Amino acid sequence: AVSVALQLTSPNPEAAQQIKAEAERVLKALPGVNHVHVEVRQPAAGKSAG
């Protein structure tokens, strides 16, 4: 099993969804990986990271 947590600086939900889907796809393709959990965290909408 593989577990990954990512923290984004942008509140863009489309980007988060794409990153999660691509990460899951790539990780599942690795030999010996039978379970993948990808958590993508984002700042609240309307808040800036800087």
Q: What is the pLDDT of residue 46?
A: 61
Rg (CA), the chain: 13
Specify if 49 maps to a domain: no
Q: Is residue 35 part of a domain?
A: yes
Note whether residue 48 is domain-resident.
no
46 within domain boundaries: no
Q: Which residues form the domain of 31?
A: 2-41
**Which residues in the chain land under pLDDT 50?**
none
Number of domains into which the chain is organized: 1
Q: How far is CA 41 from CA 19, 35, 45, in A?
A: 11, 20, 12
Q: What is the pLDDT of residue 44?
A: 83
pLDDT tens digits, 12-22: 999 999 999 99
